[in-house]
Amino acid sequence: MQTNPKPFTQLRSWWQRRRDPPSFRLQDRDIEIIRAVFMHRFLQPAHIHALFAGSEENLARRCRLLWQHFYLERPIAARPLKVLTEEIVYGLGKKGAALLQHLDPELRIANLEWTPPPERQIGWPFIDHQLGIATFMVCMRIACERKGIRFEWDGHLNRRKHRLEVGKRKYLQPDAYFVLETPDRRRLHHFLEFDRGNVSLERMRQRYWAYFHWWKRAPDGFKNVRVLTVTTNDTHKNALQRIAAEVGRDAKFHTAWNGFVFSSLSRFDSKNPANSWAHKIPSCDAIL
């Protein structure tokens, strides 16, 4: 059902803070919301509700207060989309970064540019990409909690720590690195490739071969590693699976490397509340 566009004055109020925002007392859950936004780089209210449950209305109100008081930011690049959608996007604000560094001085994030000037604003393609990763990561966390699997991920800011050397001065940067630890203490390492279909199939083929060649030289602790590709629809997922079926065949390996796993966000809807996400989690079973 198509909703009527919001009046311009209401749209504008989504990016203009009040001069006299209502006072509020920072609560433990507020700090956890700020930390979650920092970990994922960007989150929407549906993500936050999925992580923390409770009242959607109350969570939206707390996020709005955190934004009004500069603990969170609303990226300017999302403004053109607000005529078509009711989902706001939140990023970390300057006061939020200062708070997290105060709680953990080793973070050293307070002086980073969390609110860039207009000429250096982050573009929507990057935000959209990060939101897709966030959707999957939130669903994975919920799925692991329900299946008794330990989920280890150190957040978006640390992603460069996990880039892979695939040649002389050549590196492969996954979208994320995370570990699943099963109840029997088996640890499964995962490198995430999130693909909305805007990367050519040939480019993805090259990336898959780079992963394979890195794996052949990887230390023993990383032999149990999987490259997880998450797409936005099953058609694109099937095309990438066909490419991966060719990767790994060489003089030593006569069959394709079985380190590739695929999943799709086609069953997920980031605008659904957390209780409806629960019925969509089983599509993650392929990697659990």
Q: Are 172 and 193 in contact (CB under 8 A)?
A: no
Residue type, 180: L
Give the count of beta carbons closer than 10 Å to the beta carbon of residue 81. 14
Angle at the Cα of 198 from the Cα atoms of 196 and 204, rounded to 5 degrees? 90
H or E, element range at 226: strand 225-231
What are the structure tokens assigned to 271, written together? 């605008």
Torsion sign over Cα 27, 31, 36, 38: positive
Sign of the dihedral defined by the CA atoms of residues 13, 51, 194, 114, in that order? positive
Mention every residue, 6+ apart, whose C-beta is less than 8 A from residue 8: none
Whole-number Å distance between alpha carbons of 174 and 160: 8
Q: Which helix (H) or strand (E) holds 5?
A: none
Instruction: Output the pTM of the full model.
Output: 0.84
Residues belonging to the chain: 288
pLDDT of 41? 95
CA angle 7, 119, 109 (to 5 degrees): 100
CA separation, residue 240 to residues 24, 120, 192, 244 (Å) = 49, 34, 14, 6
Q: Within the chain, how many helices (H) and strands (E) appear? A: 9, 9
Residue 43 DSSP code: B
pLDDT tens for the chain, residues 1 to 288: 344 444 444 545 666 787 788 888 999 999 999 999 999 999 998 899 989 988 889 999 999 999 999 999 998 776 655 544 457 899 999 999 999 999 999 999 999 888 777 667 778 888 989 999 999 899 888 888 888 889 999 999 999 999 999 888 899 999 999 999 988 888 889 999 999 888 899 999 999 999 998 988 887 777 788 999 999 888 999 999 999 988 987 766 666 788 899 988 776 554 443 443 444 444 455 555
In angstroms, rounded to a whole number, what is the distance separating the alpha carbons of residues 192 and 196?
13
Tokens matching residue 26? 């920072």
**What is the rounded distance in angstroms from the CA atom of residue 154 to the CA atom of residue 169?**
25
Which token pair is 170?
A: 């050549």
- How far is 130 from 127, CA to CA, in rounded Å? 5
Distance CA(50)–CA(138), nearest Å, equals 7
Residue type, 240: L
